Amino acid sequence: MLAVPLNDPTDHPDHLVHPDQRGQPPVPPTAAPPAHDLAGLGRVALATTPAEFAAYWRAGGLRGGDLQIYNWYSSLFRQASVYPSGRPDGVRVPVADLGIIAPIHRVHRSESSEGVVTKFTQVVQTFADGSPPLEIESVLIPMIGRNSIRKYTLCVSSQVGCAMGCGFCQTAQMGLIRSLSVAEIVGQWFAARHLIEHPDPEAPIANIVFMGMGEPLDNFDNVVQAIAVLTDRRAANVAMRHITVSTVGRAAEIDRLAERVRQPGWHRLGLAVSLNAPTDAVRSSIMPINKAIPMAALRRPMEQWPFFGGAHLCLEYVLIPGVNDTAEHAEQLAAYVQGADYDGLAEPRYPGVALTGLVNVIPYNPRDNSPWPAPTEEQVVAFMAVLTARRVPNKRRRTKGRDTMAACGQLGNPTHTRRSLKASPVEVTVLGR
């Protein structure tokens, strides 16, 4: 189905420039973008902001005023098809046929109290030797907002697999296969917006969370550039305050992201840190990263996170029965968040500033072959009650999509591991378009 292999070397914007012209001053414009350049232009557009796109357009010697260039750029994000000429007087070309959006491979739908949850996978890379294709997963989650208006949150992947090795997470079972390009990250939004069929095509994708496969801060530059494209009003036009980057807790990269957040336009980017445990002993047992960056070290970048009006920090806490779910764990967690002493603790304490964060309790969704069950309703309520009694702001994440393995931490194809990647064939069922 693909005309052009994804990840082909022409993913680099330089391919827009004729080889003879690279490094030369731009030639005077002569022709409108020829149709056969659509795929090239589209690939560049998905990876660039409008100003960068305009620069490539001109460097390629393509004709057009600012308005035409920006219209062409915008149209790629607005519709499922584009006009080759940039003017709505020709034949529309479906973007899905240009080979720039990884094709949808599987679509699973499940009902939730707020609407249909859609999990879809896209093939980002195929192999000539018959090895299984690389797939990424995204989930479109409905929410009923104010005035009963339905909106969607899109959960995107930043990598194929993940290197972090968290014991409770499905994706971790795969290991890291590779990081995604900017276009592959933005392409998930495009697929969710224009390619999958969902019952509510008009409902906006109001939020994007980097909580799919992968550790976004291990793919820092591409994630940041993808956010620049996703938030541009001429591109996907998602509000910065409605984008959240979720991290395992890489302190140095949180600092780097904070630098970005200090820049105009970025102030309200959301940060979520997967704490998942109240003490180093528990955290190290389920999250290997904690041995390198223990909880005291992780606390500093959170204390220093730049809060502009409306910015938010979220502490994610996957509640796993028998691991981190006792009343004492909740007390210890409250002490960590508040920078308070806790009498029952032999662990190091965290005197100082309280974290300005909301604890997001996520009931554990059992991964394949999980040694732990999901928590019961009573266990979740009891844990949250302790936090509330300690005046720690907390919220529960409603579990949607668990039955289709579309819920948090359930993304990842069990047949894809570093070991099996070259060996086991993956059945290909195309349910989407």
Q: List % helix, strand, coil for the chain (3-state, nearest 5).
A: 35, 20, 45
Q: Which is nearer to ligand SAH, 218 or 331 (CB)?
A: 218
Q: Which is nearer to ligand SAH, 299 or 367 (CB)?
A: 367
Is 408 part of the annotated catalytic residue set?
yes
Helix 38-47 and helix 66-78: axis angle, to 10°? 80
Residue 203 one-letter amino acid: A
Query: What residues numbered 116-175 form the site for ligand SAH, per CB under 6 A?
Result: 168-169
Q: Which is nearer to ligand SAH, 195 or 314 (CB)?
A: 314
Q: What is the residue-wise DSSP string for 150-198?
A: EEEEEE--SEEE-SS--TT-TGGGG-EEEEPPHHHHHHHHHIIIIIS--
Of the candidate spans 5-13, 173-181, 403-411, 425-433, the one that interacts with ligand SAH by CB under 6 A turns out to be: 403-411
Residue 93: beta bridge partners?
A: 82
Q: Which is nearer to ligand SAH, 102 or 223 (CB)?
A: 223
State the nearest-atom distance from the C-beta of 288 to ligand SAH, in Å: 12
Residue 130 one-letter amino acid: G
Q: Cβ of 109: how many Cβ atoms within 10 Å?
A: 18
Q: Single out the residue of 189, 336, 364, 383 in contact with ligand SAH (rule: CB under 6 A).
A: 364
Q: Which is nearer to ligand SAH, 70 or 168 (CB)?
A: 168
Q: Cβ of 68: how many Cβ atoms within 10 Å?
A: 17
Is 137 part of the annotated catalytic residue set?
yes
Please name which of 163, 268, 144, 272 lies closest in space to residue 210, comparing C-alpha atoms.
Answer: 272
Alpha-helix runs per DSSP H in 263-304: 280-286, 289-292, 295-303
316 binds ligand SAH (CB under 6 A): yes
318 binds ligand SAH (CB under 6 A): yes
User: What is the distance between the alpha carbons of residues 290 and 173, in angstroms, rounded to a whole number?
Assistant: 18
State the nearest-atom distance from the C-beta of 281 to ligand SAH, in Å: 18
Q: Single out the residue of 409, 412, 416, 432 in contact with ligand SAH (rule: CB under 6 A).
A: 409
Q: Single out the residue of 95, 186, 208, 211 in contact with ligand SAH (rule: CB under 6 A).
A: 211
For ligand SAH, the nearest residue by Cβ is: 409
Supply 46's token pair. Answer: 């998905």
State the nearest-atom distance from the C-beta of 401 to ligand SAH, in Å: 11
247 binds ligand SAH (CB under 6 A): yes
- Exactly one of 135, 137, 215, 316 is catalytic; name it: 137
State the nearest-atom distance from the C-beta of 276 to ligand SAH, in Å: 5
Q: Single out the residue of 74, 225, 365, 379 in contact with ligand SAH (rule: CB under 6 A).
A: 365
Q: Are 152 and 204 in contact (CB under 8 A)?
A: yes
Q: Between the CA of residue 398 and those of 46, 194, 217, 314, what are the distances in Å?
A: 32, 26, 25, 15
Q: Which is nearer to ligand SAH, 207 or 246 (CB)?
A: 246
Q: How many residues bind ligand SAH (CB under 6 A)?
A: 18
Q: Single out the residue of 71, 122, 181, 276 in contact with ligand SAH (rule: CB under 6 A).
A: 276
Say how many residues make up the chain. Answer: 433
- Exactly one of 162, 169, 314, 408 is catalytic; name it: 408
User: What is the distance between the alpha carbons of residues 320 and 312, in angstroms, rounded to a whole number?
Assistant: 25
Q: Which is nearer to ligand SAH, 313 or 431 (CB)?
A: 313
Query: What residues numbered 214-233 form the site for ligand SAH, per CB under 6 A?
Result: 215
State the nearest-atom distance from the C-beta of 172 to ligand SAH, in Å: 8
State the nearest-atom distance from the C-beta of 166 to ligand SAH, in Å: 6
Residue 9 one-letter amino acid: P
Query: What residues numbered 55-84 form the site for ligand SAH, per CB under 6 A?
Result: none
362 binds ligand SAH (CB under 6 A): yes
Q: Are 317 and 333 in contact (CB under 8 A)?
A: yes
User: Which of left, alpha, beta for 225 (phi over 0: left; psi -120 to 50: alpha)?
Assistant: alpha
Q: Cβ of 386: how many Cβ atoms within 10 Å?
A: 18
By annotation, the residues acting in catalysis are: 137, 408
Residues of the shown chain interacting with ligand SAH in the complex, contacts defined by CB under 6 A? 168-169, 211, 215, 246-248, 274, 276, 316, 318, 362, 364-365, 367, 408-410
